[in-house]
Structure 1
Amino acid sequence: MCGIFCLLSLSPSQFEWDKTVQEHLKRRGPNLSQDVTVRGPCYQCLFSAHVLHMRGLLTPQPVQDTTGNVLMWNGEIFGGLPVLPEENDTAVVAHRLSSCSSPSEILSVLSTIQGPWGFVYYQKAADSLWFGRDFFGRRSLLWKFDADANALTLTSVAAHSSGSDKPAWQEVPAACVYRIDLKAVAEAGSVTLEVYPWVRGGNDLVTSCSEAILESVPSGCTAVMNQSGLVLTSPVCPLNQSIPKSLNETEINSHLCVQDLKELLANQEETDEVNRLIDVLSEAVRRRVQLLPFRVQNSSPPTNDQASVAILFSGGIDSMILAALADRHIPAHHPIDLLNVAFKLKEPKKQKESAKTSRKHKNKPTDPKTHTSDSQTSSPFDVPDRITGKAGLKELHDLNPERRWNFVEINVTQEELQKMREERICHLVHPLDTVLDDSIGCAVWFAARGTGFIMARGDDQTPFTSSAKVILTGIGADEQLAGYSRHRVRFKMSGHEGLIQELAMELGRISSRNLGRDDRVIADHGKEARFPYLDEDVVSFLNSLPVWEKADLSLPRGVGEKLLLRLAAKQLGLGQSAVLPKRAMQFGSRIAKMEDKCEKASDKCTRLLTG
């Protein structure tokens, strides 16, 4: 993984680095930094790459081959193209692209790759600049066009600026790959982008998607569909849109209690679908926890006391299954870090009142019984995700008592939140700017930093910082298995047909709603986010199933949503975590309560705009 930056300038003026952007890029790629400049008759391209070494031998970027092609690759190959253990996937991609002589061949290579990527590629023979993101948009790529400087900039991460006179950053849509004919652009003096869309299913869908793509380019640029009609082949199969014939499909059995739900799960027959989900998801986790650096230059490998893999961990079903499957594939003597974030709860009113009473009667003798009861308060960091996280830790200990599970308690005060949001997080979340982006962006940033404490023997708190460079996250499970409350609302209103329509939208918008932001936030610590639930084989398997085999929203919360995953959890030996209802990270960590404001998730967040 790395931070990539490309400036295409159509004017001879000298480019000056934004120091904040440069610092952000270097934090993404702390192992090696390098610049390459390519000059044409009336243009110049600056390529700057900052590498986080994750695989094979350390390979400097940008990669410039003997014929003058230049590649910046921010990605991982988990399938599609063969990569040997000692090989670096950047070198593999560079070699494949260098052998391409036509757009169709380049698209064929990109369509073959399974895994997350964002890239910029200068093809010298064709005088072309290619760039884009993978099908799901699992790696960030931003762009802006400065009309005054006549320059297009691409970057993994940018910086928030309060000045309204500057061109705005936008996320590059993950719906296509772009090509710029540099010779034509230089002659015209303006930037035209040739579009090569991903085929997501059906000509109508391609057409409607293409219209949105053409309208999403930065102001000052134009976009046109490629004249050859070339497309990238979708790496996943289409969503199964079968509708059951049963009646009363929206009637919810809300009278069931938790014990009934446990029995329901216990009585479900083991199905092929459950075993196939476990198999395909287990393989996705294996690819992501075993493909680690072959050798890091000038550094010693992690010791057996240091984890190579961490999990964003709430104790909910998504993170519990990732932990249980990671346990299968990580050597038994290696620890696994479970990153659990909590934001400090405000002092309850009763405590405040008792404190006032204490001050009012400070000269009076204290009743020992009253004093004792007042002093027995729970930790201000006992948020819901901390409680379920500790319960989940116990389940994992029961599954594998020999494994060292580092449950990292990451406690955040309001003062630290405000400080780090202003200094770092507001730049990383940008250009997203809602209250929800602020809440999740901040929570993920502190969690990924991995600085907190673990409980040592005798319940002593020991300061701890996770050494893991790979962070597994459970995003994608709710989107595919009807885990959100909006899915239940849609099902209640429109039945299975409405639910299918809602699920069909989820993965198409996950790049702009979640993935770009989460990649920028996690990578700021020199760590890499990996998304097993968005593995191409996992998505294809889930897409192949009819919706009623994935979820049964006639059942109450805690079992009906993500039913297939809950059955898989039972099969894996998990307990109470299999029937925990969905709880969004901003509520489970209590960051949403910390600001104490009457805000909607979709509101513009002034805290991000002002730092």
Structure 2
Amino acid sequence: MCGICFVVNFTASPCILQENVCKKLRNRGPNCSKNITITISDPVYSCLFSGHVLHMRGSLTPQPLLDADGNIFLWNGEVFGGLTVGTKENDTEIILQQLSLCKCNSDILSVLSQVKGPWAIIYYQKAEHCIWFGRDFFGRRSLLWSCDSEQSSFMLSSVSICLPNPESVHWQEVPAVGVYRLDLKSSSQDGNWKLELYPWAHPDAEPPNDFTWEGLPSSISLMINNSRLFITSLIPLMNMSITTPNLELNLSSQNSSCDLKEFLKSAEKREMVGSFIGVLSEAVRRRVQCLPLQDTAAQDTNNKAAHVAILFSGGIDSMILAVLADHHIPADRPVDLLNVAFKLQELKMNQVSRKKGHNQKKDCTNADAPSDQQKSNCFDVPDRITGRAGLQELKNLSPARKWNFVEINVTQEELKEMREKRISHLVHPLDTVLDDSIGCAVWFAARGVGIISEEAGQRQHTSTAKVVLTGIGADEQLAGYSRHRIRFKSSGLEGLVKELAMELGRISSRNLGRDDRVIGDHGKEARFPYLDEDVVSFLNSLPIWEKANLFLPRGVGEKLLLRLAAMELGLGASALLPKRAMQFGSRIAKLENTHEKASDKCKRLVTS
């Protein structure tokens, strides 16, 4: 994980990076910071490259990297496969070595197409006077751009800021549809920015022949490259088959757990579930064993610090990640389970209390000196309750493991303060009510500051894990959202598979850039096992009815394959929990205007 930034303008004056941008970049990369500036006289332009490193692999390698030919490289990513990176090697150095050997544009595309793992790059080719930039196929790492037409400057960055003059500078997420090439020579000569797109394409499908990027300033021209080159996707096309067995006959009983066990009586089904567990387990292994060298070893002699944390609700997605992480993390090493809850407003707490027939004297909002137990009850949101139940399941499965269930309690006052100070700038340029809710919930969860309840009582805990596993991608691929049932009811299997294909295609713009910026703000790296290239390839190879059976009831039919995997892994009640979105499970959605729609523009995210 790194914070990377690039600025170029058509003058000989040195580029300057604003301090508020530098601070946000340093939050992402606290271990090492470095800038390189260059000025070219023919053609005339000046550049600034800024790299801020979170040390995750091999020896600490400052960025930007400069090779013998004067090429400059900024890399924010992890190589989990495709290219060989030794356990003591640094992947930034390996990628630059490969790029330095490239003789033509197709060679560069070939190198990048081999990488399995999340990445965002900025690469300056000195001899060609050009900048290559882009994000991986899913957009798992943030990269934003802005163009200041008044100052004739172009900027790329992991994070953005909202500037006082939005008419002059407008930030956008770089679409994860391919790799871009900015021709500095021709741009300098005519004063306009010339971008070429090298789109992602499947080997067995025609590459796109056009692309529209909405909101481009008139000073930028974007077109698909004239040579019709493309970057090859490692992900096969989704199986769109809808010729199915009679799924309605799979309803075996009124007992949901019996339904799942009935499926597992089939040898063919168990083999498929075993294959899925195998590929997902390997994805988790890559992400929990590719860990930073311990720079706090002297303070960590008792193995009390967790190196891995999980965004944890007790739902099936996070439970399976916890079980599989347990298989690959040393038994004496704790795992932090980060569980976030937002305190309801006093009026709403009183309403809930009256509806349940509780004595108002027991309501912590009415007590002059509430007890610790009463304070805790104020945060007993749905995800806290299922989280505690999930913790007990994990303890039963792996009693030797120390599971740190971190209760992260957020008041409305702290939410308002941190949204204004930090979160709104990280969520930007996304701006909906949903972005606000999820962005805030993930930011507080990833910060990892909370309490742990033990036999001796409660104690404060701050997670120091640099790796944060998140379950994003499971619902999008396995029909976990309620809108999938709605689409299935209205359009059948054909509509459902189209919906899932659309979900996966838009995940970069809907979720991943935002979540990467929010989690990275704490100097931690978000890792997405469900979006591992091999996991997605496996799921894309299956027909829809093997992944989900929406003829079955809620809590069983959606994410059916994942529920079967949970049963095979020894999980119980958590295998049958229906989907509950984070904004509702943590109750952040109840703190604000309940009449808002998720897609509405969020006034709380307006910054200056």
Q: TM-score range by the shorter chain?
A: over 0.9
Measure the CA separation in 2 of the matches of 1:537 and 1:122.
30
Supply the distance in 2 between the matched residues of 1:592 and 1:252 (Cα, whole angstroms).
Answer: 36
What residue number does 1:447 align with? 445
1:327-372: CA deviation from partner (whole Å, max 9, x where unpaired): 00000000000000000123222758999998xxxxxxxxxxxxx9
Mark the CA change 1:336 to 1:377 in structure 2 (over 3 Å): closer, same or farther. Answer: closer
Q: Which residue of 2 aligns with 1:4?
A: 4
Q: Tell me the residue number matched to 2:365.
A: none
2:172 paired residue number? 170
What SS does the corresponding residue of 1:512 show, helix, strand or coil? Answer: helix
8 Å CA contact retained: 1:250, 1:553: no
Between the aligned partners of 1:102 and 1:272, the Cα distance in structure 2 is: 45
Shift of 1:472: 0.3
Aligned to 1:275: 274
**2:424 counterpart letter in structure 1:** C
- The aligned residue for residue 380 of structure 2 is 382
Once the two structures are superposed, residues 56-76 of structure 1 have per-residue CA deviations (whole angstroms, 9 ceiling, x without a partner) of 110010000121010000000
Match of 1:582 among 579, 585, 590: 579
Task: Report the counterpart of residue 425 of structure 1 in structure 2.
Answer: 423
Q: Deviations over 1:248-290 (max 9, x none)?
A: x689979945465465566565522100100000000000000
How has the CA–CA distance of structure 1 residues 357 and 329 changed in structure 2, closer, same or farther, with 3 Å as cutoff?
closer
Q: Which stretch of structure 1 is more off in the superposition, 87-96 or 14-23? A: 14-23
Letter of the 1:379 partner, please give it. N
From 555, 567, 583, the counterpart of 1:558 = 555
Q: Which amino acid aligns with 1:193?
A: L
1:156-195 aligned within 5 A = 156-161=158-163, 163-195=165-197
CA change 1:339–1:245 in 2 (3 A) is closer
**Cα separation, 2, equivalents of 1:138 and 1:420:** 24
**Counterpart in 2 of 1:112?**
114
Give yes or no for contact 1:417–1:442 (8 Å, CA) kept in 2: yes
Shift, 1:98, TM fit: 0.7
Structure 1 residue 597: Cα displacement: 3.2
> Unaligned regions of 5+ residues in structure 2, if any?
362-369
CA contact (8 A) 1:58 1:297 kept: no
Q: After superposition, what is the alpha-carbon deviation per residue over 1:180-207, rounded to whole angstroms, capped at 9, x for unaligned?
A: 1221111122110011000047656623
Q: Deviations over 1:104-153 (max 9, x none)?
A: 00000000000000010001122221000000000000001100110110
Counterpart in 1 of 2:366?
none
- Pairing 1:218-237 to 2, within 5 Å after superposition: 218-237=217-236
Structure 1 residues 220, 275: closer, same or farther in 2, change over 3 A? Answer: same
Note if 1:52 corresponds to 2:50: no
Q: Distance in 1 between matches of 2:522 and 2:191?
A: 39
CA drift of 1:12 comes to: 3.5
Secondary structure in 2 matching 1:483: coil
Q: Which runs of 5+ in 1 are unaligned?
A: 359-371
Alignment correspondent of 2:591: 594
Q: 1:377 to 1:462 in 2, by over 3 A?
A: closer
AA in 1 matched with 2:279: V
Taking a change above 3 Å as real, the CA distance of residues 295 and 408 of structure 1, as seen in their structure-2 partners, is: closer
TM-score by length of 2: 0.92
Cα 1:348–1:219 change in 2 (3 A) is farther
- Say which SS state the counterpart of residue 211 (structure 1) adopts: coil
- Larger deviation: 580-589 or 126-135? 126-135
Aligned ranges for residues 71-470 of structure 1 at < 5 Å? 71-161=73-163, 163-200=165-202, 206-207=208-209, 210-213=210-213, 215=214, 217-246=216-245, 256=254, 258=256, 261=259, 264=262, 270-294=269-293, 296=295, 304-346=303-345, 347-349=349-351, 379-458=377-456, 460-470=457-467
The whole-number CA distance in structure 2 between the counterparts of 1:378 and 1:300 is: 31
Residues 1:521 and 2:521 aligned together: no
How many corresponding residue pairs? 591
Given that 1:11 and 1:149 are in contact with CA atoms closer than 8 Å, whether structure 2 keeps it comes out as no
Q: Secondary structure at the match of 2:35?
A: strand
**1:506 positional shift:** 1.3
Secondary structure of the structure 1 residue equivalent to 2:530:
helix
Distance in 1 (alpha carbons) for counterparts of 2:160 and 2:317: 31
SS in 1 for 2:145: strand
Is 2:501 aligned against 1:499?
Answer: no
TM-score normalised by the chain length of structure 1: 0.92
In the alignment, the residues of structure 2 paired with residue 497 and residue 355 of structure 1 have an alpha-carbon distance, to the nearest angstrom, of 48
Task: Pick closer, same or farther for the CA change 1:349–1:30 going to 2, 3 Å.
Answer: same
Q: Matches of 1:572 and 1:265 in 2, distance apart? A: 15
How far the C-alpha of 1:293 sits from its partner, in A, is 2.0
- Report % sequence identity: 59
